[in-house]
Amino acid sequence: MSLHDQDDPALRAAQEDRLRAVWKPPQGLFLRWTDTNNNRVGVWYVLTAFGFMLFAGVLALIMRTQLAVPDNDLVSANSFNQLFTLHGSMMMFLFAVPMFEAVSIILLPQLLGARDLPFPRLSAFGYWSFLIGGVFVSGSIFFNAAPDGGWFMYPPLTTRTDLSGLGADIWMLGLSFIEVSSVAAAVELIVGVLKCRPPGMRLNLMPLYAWYILVVAVMILFAFPPLIAGDILFEMERLLDWPFFDANRGGDPLLWQHLFWIFGHPEVYIIFLPSIALFAMLVPTFANRHLLGYPWIVLAAVGTAFLSFGLWVHHMFTTGLPKISLAFFSAASEAVAIPTGVQIFVFIATLWAGRVTWSTPLLYATGSLAIFVIGGLTGVMVAVAPFDWQAHDSYFIVAHLHYVLIGGTLMPLFAGLYYYWPLITGKKLSDRLGRIAFWMLFAGANLTFFPMHLSGLMGMPRRVFTYPAELGLGGLNLMSTAGAYLFAAGVAVICVDLALSPRRAKAPRNPWNAGTLEWLAHPDDEDWGIRSVPLVESRYPIWDQPDFVRKVDEGRFFLPDAEEGRRETIVTTVLDARPLAVIRLGTPSVKPMLTAIALGGVFIFTTYHLYWAALACGIATLACTLWWLWTGTAEIPEKPCKPIGHGLELPLYLSGPAAPGWWAMFITMMADATAFSGLVFGYFFFWTRHADFPPATMADGPGILWPMVALAVGVIGWLATIGARDIHARGGVAAARILLLLGITHSIVGVGAGLAGPWTSGLDPQAHSYPAIVWTLAIWTSAHAGVAAIMQGYALARSLAGKMNPDHDADLRNVSIYMHFYALSAVVTYATIGLFPEVA
Amino acid sequence: MTDRGKWHERLKVTLWTLIVPPAIWAGHFLMAYLWAAISCAKVGAFATFPTLFVVGTIIALTLIALSGWIAWKQTHRPGDSAPHQDSTDIDRLRFLAKSTLLLAGLSFVGVIFTALPVVFLRNCL
């Protein structure tokens, strides 16, 4: 299709009809919920997270009411424990993290000029997982069964079943489920940023929001899995009495603190960076100029991401670790102020150099930076270990973290809300109500949290349900409570503003006169995402490229049609965004929802110790996943290539490192490997904690024989799969099938051989942390052997069913990625449990 | 040298080389943490002159400086001046090189930060 063709209005109308038909959302009372289009799933996601935020905010108000006066008895100590635990857990896991994912699911395809993200069904799966897990966790408070051990759930308080009830299991299993959905979102967002950019959008032209999202999604891959590993150990202790955290039997509660905070500190940046990313989009718009120092923002995002993994022990300064260790973490905690400061100065410099339009979103942005900087300064204070020893677990910390989170996450999200509302709904929010709400929020936040610095320094510990009048803290607490109500009233004004929105008239297109791609969205938006995928030559194409909007709208760029009636988007190269292929996207389907329900059943039934039901749900999850993959992925196209305009013809099938699916597999396995390294860390952590490890009574551990057998069959299974992949690519289909069969056999043998070591040597996992961690590593790797057998079987079945051939071998290549990681786990596990006792 | 230029010009910056300097910081940090944790737990003290630590720090600083130097050379490849915002090979290259250079600076400071405590603290208490 040449440029010339698009001059014909009839052709354009026909193209639009086809696109409209292809992207038509499913109708009907139930079917509408099977939608997978990012603009719908993203909105559900945002609304759900916003709802959880309001719920958790009400919990905070109840707490502040209880603390308004000394010796108050509005709620009992037990209820108060549930309130603060659920408030913290919900704000972190059900609001801040999902909100970033939700906003990104809406914005990213628009920013990248893509029709949708590469795996729309995965987004839907993530949403349904989030909804089920979130309702399960937050609903528990109505049954007086909410978790009550604080949002970081320190053992032994939480692992001893006589000290904490069902709430701890609800927290652990409910939030594990949500962690799965976060990893799913991370996969989606990384592949989206790296592979679905429009032609011409090289790395140096990427909107900074996309840079931040890439960095944050990678952080999720390395931060969440250690918590998943911790959750596994935690539930093994609670459900099976394996003593990982029980000091009487060789366990150590500090292991939980390490695993939790290896997650918990990067987590702070995981929720801060995407919010600050919104500034990187709105500051240039309202400064009416390009953002200054683009590479400095990249420095700040990447630098913060790395440094944030060297901070976790600053939450553990009072646990008695060697001072030299504390000093390393203190140093890194001070260093992270550098990149954080850099990005704030970039925004200030851009505003300084531009002609500033003082809009409501910019008011929120500047106000939140002011609040954030105060939190940052107290952060530098508590990063100094001797100061932290004084302030630890006092209200000073509560003040610090709320300044950081309100200034660094909540208020920037409100800035984003006012900025992007016209993009989502086509209507602007009220400037008047927005400004009133801003001043209420700004004053309320300072009135609530500034006095907490003082009450903390005067000795008020966090998490107490009341305090005696003699301490003289009544006045400060009353101020905090008044501030909290003012803040809540500010949020209520925003809710009123949102509620009035449907009655308002539509705003013009691109109402802020911004320069980035997302503002191509039309007030009466179509579901197709973008009319044609543009050729991008600037960081601000709407400002810089002549006739850009008209050319996009008239379909003069790429992929202006949907001739074959399929949902499609363009895949490009990672560095330079050269067009590689057109991929067919997942259409609305009930499969993601069913998979999420089945997986939710696994976690929920396990909470109530209904193991048979949980097992049935596990099998259902596997069945749903296979059904989803079999019917929806790596489909062999009806023709090898299709034209996308301007004489360009792109293939319709990709396999190997060019393909989004390959990247998704690789990224998922990175997360898997990180969780595994958390377990291995546990093993060596116990080794450092004990003079004799393994203990003298079980010095032989699982023996050498079986671990070495398991290692050998694991490696053979891996080699067979790699061989199958290479021979298959050269046309040896029959030989590849035989090799896959060989691989399956070895993987199945690997399951038994892995467990045989601890089993035959009679290691009792309830006796001591050593046998418990050996069993855990063996079970982990054996389970991976089982999954390997299923995957190899899947590839074999695809080949036999004619859905995979030497020219279309994505399935086998993706299975190979899994096998690399499986082989690596086998080597590490069996060398550790089999050989390390010999040298220790 | 071949006609394609000096060796440091033939190297190509990518997303992987971008993260080399901070990854070296991370490796050094991990080494520092593990060295202190293991020697304090298993030996009860660390050696009065921590040779391994000093050597590791020097290696880390050298590698970061080297990657920074390569990046600096690449930012000086002929082409348009900053802000490198055109959709061209040279602009993309120079942008990534500039970012790598900045990250090398941050990582260099980070490694010095991590090394400093050892100057002042020599026991496990």
**Cα–Cα distance between A403 and A412 in angstroms, integer?**
12
pLDDT in tens, A720-777: 999 999 999 999 999 999 999 999 999 999 999 999 999 999 999 999 999 999 999 9
- CA distances A340 to A150, A277, A298, A348, A350, Å, are 28, 12, 11, 13, 16
CB contact under 8 A, B113 and A334: yes
**Cα–Cα distance between A194 and A815 in angstroms, integer?**
21
Residue where a domain terminates, one of A651, A679, A707? A651
DSSP 8-state symbol, A206: S
B contacts of A299 (beta carbons < 8 Å) = 99, 102-103, 106
List, as one string, the DSSP characters of A298-338: HHHHHHHHHHGGG-GGGG-TTS---HHHHHHHHHHHHHTHH
**Cα–Cα distance between A99 and A86 in angstroms, integer?**
17
Bridge-based pairing state of the strands A579-584 and A648-651: unpaired
Task: Report yes or no on A532 lying in a domain.
Answer: no
User: What is the mean predicted confidence (pLDDT) over B17-27?
Assistant: 94
- CA distances A311 to A264, A308, A328, A334, A715, Å, are 10, 6, 9, 9, 37
**Per-residue tokens: A458:** 């005067």
- Please state the pTM of the whole predicted model: 0.94
User: What is the mean predicted confidence (pLDDT) over A18-40?
Assistant: 93
How many other CB atoms are there within 10 angstroms of residue A716's CB atom? 18
B contacts of A202 (beta carbons < 8 Å) = 87, 91-92
Q: Which amino acid is at A834?
A: G
Average pLDDT in chain A: 94
A contacts of B13 (beta carbons < 8 Å) = none
Residues A292 and A162 in one domain: yes
Residues A93 and A127 in one domain: yes
Q: b/e map of A323-360 (b: 16 or more CB within 10 Å)?
A: bbbbbbbbbbbbbbbbbbebbbebbebbbeebebeebb
**Cα–Cα distance between B41 and A689 in angstroms, integer?**
7
Task: Report yes or no on A758 lying in a domain.
Answer: yes
Residues A550 and A498 in one domain: no
CB contact under 8 A, B42 and A688: yes
Q: How far is B5 from chain A (nearest CA, A)?
A: 22
Q: What is the pLDDT of residue A4?
A: 66
Binned at pLDDT 50, 70 and 90, residue A162 comes out as: confident
pLDDT in tens, A775-830: 999 999 999 999 999 999 999 999 999 999 999 999 999 999 999 999 999 999 99
Residues A601 and A664 in one domain: no
Binned at pLDDT 50, 70 and 90, residue B1 comes out as: very low
Determine which helix (DSSP H) or strand (DSSP E) holds A579, and give its type and residue range.
strand A579-584
**Close Cβ partners of A522 (under 8 Å, ≥ 6 residues apart):** A426, A509
Q: What is the pLDDT of residue A496?
A: 97
Task: Report yes or no on A697 lying in a domain.
Answer: yes
Q: What is the pLDDT of residue B81?
A: 67
Helix (H), strand (E), coil (C) string for A599-637: HHHHHHHHHCCCHHHHHHHHHHHHHHHHHHHHHHCCCCC
The torsion region of residue B44 among left (phi > 0), alpha (psi -120 to 50) and beta comes to left
Residues A292 and A374 in one domain: yes
Minimum CA–CA partner of A539 in chain B: B85
CB contact under 8 A, B103 and A303: yes
User: What is the mean predicted confidence (pLDDT) over B14-21?
Assistant: 88
**Pick among B15, B80, B85 to test the A interface (most A CBs inside 10 A):** B85
User: What is the mean predicted confidence (pLDDT) over B8-31?
Assistant: 86
To the nearest 10 degrees (0 to 180), the angle between helices A360-382 and A411-425 is 150
Is A384's pLDDT higher than 60? yes
**Cα–Cα distance between A180 and A44 in angstroms, integer?**
18
Name the residue among A38, A176, A169, A33 with its Cα closest to residue A111.
A38
Q: What is the pLDDT of residue A70?
A: 96
Residues A631 and A665 in one domain: no
Minimum CA–CA partner of A205 in chain B: B85
CB contact under 8 A, A205 and B117: no
CB contact under 8 A, B99 and A298: yes
Q: b/e map of A404-439 (b: 16 or more CB within 10 Å)?
A: bbbbbbbbbbbbbbbbbbbbbbbbbbbeebbbbbbe
User: What is the mean predicted confidence (pLDDT) over A226-243?
Assistant: 95
Q: What is the pLDDT of residue A2?
A: 47
Is B108's pLDDT higher than 70? yes
Residue where a domain terminates, one of A599, A634, A651? A651
Task: Report yes or no on A314 lying in a domain.
Answer: yes
CB contact under 8 A, A328 and B92: no
Are A724 and B78 in contact by the 8 Å Cβ rule? The answer is no
Are A421 and A428 in contact by the 8 Å Cβ rule? The answer is yes
Name the residue among A398, A417, A564 with its Cα closest to residue A484.
A398
User: What is the mean predicted confidence (pLDDT) over A211-226?
Assistant: 95
Minimum CA–CA partner of B112 in chain A: A331
What ranges do the domains of chain B cover? 14-120
**Cα–Cα distance between A169 and A147 in angstroms, integer?**
8
**Cα–Cα distance between A790 and A812 in angstroms, integer?**
12
Q: What is the pLDDT of residue A456?
A: 96
Chain centroid offset of residue A453 CA: 31
Residues A647 and A685 in one domain: no
For chain A, list residues whose CB is within 8 angstroms of any CB belonging to chain B: 200-205, 290, 294-296, 298-299, 302-303, 305-307, 309-310, 321-325, 327-332, 334-335, 338-339, 536-539, 574-576, 688-689
Residues A438 and A460 in one domain: yes
Is A6's pLDDT higher than 90? no
How many other CB atoms are there within 10 angstroms of residue A475's CB atom? 11
**Close Cβ partners of A808 (under 8 Å, ≥ 6 residues apart):** A634, A636, A653, A655
**Pick among B42, B96, B102 to test the A interface (most A CBs inside 10 A):** B102
Q: What is the pLDDT of residue A362?
A: 96
* CA torsion angle A118 A121 A125 A130 (round to 10): 60
Helix (H), strand (E), coil (C) string for A257-282: HHHHHHHHHHHHHHHHHHHHHHHHHH
% of chain A exceeding 90 in pLDDT: 92
**Cα–Cα distance between A656 and A665 in angstroms, integer?**
11
**Cα–Cα distance between A778 and A680 in angstroms, integer?**
11
Residue range of the domain that includes A639: 4-26+540-651
pLDDT in tens, A272-308: 999 999 999 999 999 999 999 999 999 999 999 999 9
Gyration radius (Cα) of chain A, Å: 27
Task: Report yes or no on A312 lying in a domain.
Answer: yes
User: What is the mean predicted confidence (pLDDT) over A434-457?
Assistant: 97
Helix (H), strand (E), coil (C) string for A628-692: HHHHHCCCCCCCCEEEEECCEEEECCCCHHHCHHHHHHHHHHHHHHHHHHHHHHHHHHHHHHCCC
**Per-residue tokens: A333:** 């905690």
Binned at pLDDT 50, 70 and 90, residue B82 comes out as: low
Are B65 and B25 in contact by the 8 Å Cβ rule? The answer is no
To the nearest 10 degrees (0 to 180), the angle between helices A810-830 and A769-800 is 160
Which residues are A584's β-sheet partners?
A: A568
Minimum CA–CA partner of B21 in chain A: A303
Residues A644 and A665 in one domain: no
**Dihedral angle sign, alpha carbons of residues B50, B51, B52, B53:** positive
Residues A213 and A346 in one domain: yes
**Cα–Cα distance between A574 and A485 in angstroms, integer?**
48
**Per-residue tokens: A735:** 């030989």
Task: Report yes or no on A533 lying in a domain.
Answer: no
Are A650 and A641 in contact by the 8 Å Cβ rule? The answer is yes
Interface contacts A/B by beta carbons within 8 Å: 126
**Cα–Cα distance between A160 and A719 in angstroms, integer?**
45
CB contact under 8 A, B121 and A332: no
Question: Helix (H, G, I), strand (E, B), or coil: what is residue A487?
Answer: helix
Are A458 and A394 in contact by the 8 Å Cβ rule? The answer is no
Instruction: Count the domains in chain A.
Output: 3
Residue where a domain terminates, one of A629, A651, A673? A651
Facing residue for B22 by CB, picked from A306, A322, A688: A306
Binned at pLDDT 50, 70 and 90, residue B80 comes out as: low
Q: Which amino acid is at A433?
A: L
Query: Locate tokens 């949002």: which residue?
Result: A151
User: What is the mean predicted confidence (pLDDT) over A453-463?
Assistant: 96
Q: Is B42 exposed, middle or buried (0-12, 13-18, 19+ CB in 10 A)?
A: exposed
**Close Cβ partners of A27 (under 8 Å, ≥ 6 residues apart):** none
Is A1's pLDDT higher than 50? no
**Per-residue tokens: A294:** 């683009």
- CA distances A815 to A788, A823, B1, Å, are 8, 12, 43
**Per-residue tokens: A799:** 């080949």
pLDDT in tens, A460-513: 999 999 999 999 999 999 999 999 999 999 999 999 999 999 999 999 999 999
Residues A613 and A739 in one domain: no
**Cα–Cα distance between A612 and A176 in angstroms, integer?**
20
**Per-residue tokens: A96:** 């801040």
Q: What is the pLDDT of residue A696?
A: 87
Facing residue for A327 by CB, picked from B37, B83, B117: B117
Q: How many residues does chain B have?
A: 125
User: What is the mean predicted confidence (pLDDT) over A231-240?
Assistant: 95
CA angle A784, A789, A795 (to 5 degrees): 120
Residues A401 and A263 in one domain: yes
**Pick among A257, A306, A343 to test the B interface (most B CBs inside 10 A):** A306
Query: Locate tokens 């190269």: which residue?
Result: A573
Is B9's pLDDT higher than 90? no
Binned at pLDDT 50, 70 and 90, residue B48 comes out as: low
Task: Report yes or no on A513 lying in a domain.
Answer: no
Name the residue among A11, A19, A39, A151 with its Cα closest to residue A533.
A19
Binned at pLDDT 50, 70 and 90, residue B37 comes out as: confident
Is B49's pLDDT higher than 70? no
CA angle A494, A496, A500 (to 5 degrees): 115
**Cα–Cα distance between A717 and A599 in angstroms, integer?**
28
